[in-house]
Amino acid sequence: MSQPEQPQIYLVTPPEIELSRFTGQLAAALDAHPVACVRLALSTREEDDIARAADACREITHARDIALVLESHIALVERLGLDGVHLVDGARSVRKARKALGPDAIVGAHCGDSRHDGLNAGESGADYVSFGPVGQTALGDGAQAGAELFAWWSEMIELPVVAEGALDADTIAALAPVTDFFGIGAEIWREDDPAQALLRLVAAMG
């Protein structure tokens, strides 16, 4: 299998956003560099808050012909006019999501560092899998999705793969030849100018 071309960018929102400020940052980031997809990944469990954020982000992404997926909340996807769902429990909910949303919706699955979960997610109907964190972090159990996982996946599996979590320029440079997407979130939103931070990370792809 040939090596992928330069990976595409998959933006992940912060877990908490102030809409009046974030919408401008999101628009600027989307205009700074081509983005394949945006994931609305809010920590809130308040349906109204999710709906308001989804409405604001959808207006920005769809105006640019960019897909917007919602993290975890399968039942809200169609109601909010979104393009799909990103699941965080590996392969467990993929069949349920596919059945609920139909064949045209995007269904993605985060599979940690588990090749087995990734393969199961693909067999269950996922459109992509994500592995991570790929950088060093003390969060969770500290496990990392190593470069060897992405190298194996890119050689053996057709299903698109996303590298995400604790990314930096060196990690991006190392993984660029063996991943299809970089899931970039906190790495840019914590900066004063997220659009410029995004461009710096993109430059690391070479």
Structure tokens at 104: 């045209």
Residue numbers of the chain with a pLDDT score lower than 50: 1-4
Retrieve residue 172's tokens.
């991006």
* pLDDT (0 to 100) of residue 137: 83
pLDDT of residue 104: 98
Contact 107, 127 (CB under 8 A): yes
**pLDDT, tens digit, 9 for 90 and up, residues 136-159:** 887 777 789 999 999 999 999 999
- What pLDDT is recorded for position 206? 87
pTM over 0.85: yes
Distance of CA 72 to the CA centre of its chain: 12
Distance between start and end Cα atoms, the chain: 21
Q: Which amino acid is located at 51 in the chain?
A: A
Q: Which residues contact 168 (CB under 8 A, 6 or more apart)?
A: 135, 187
Give the domains, in start order, of the chain with CATH numbers. 8-203 (3.20.20.70)
The answer to whether the CB of 164 falls within 8 A of the CB of 130 is yes
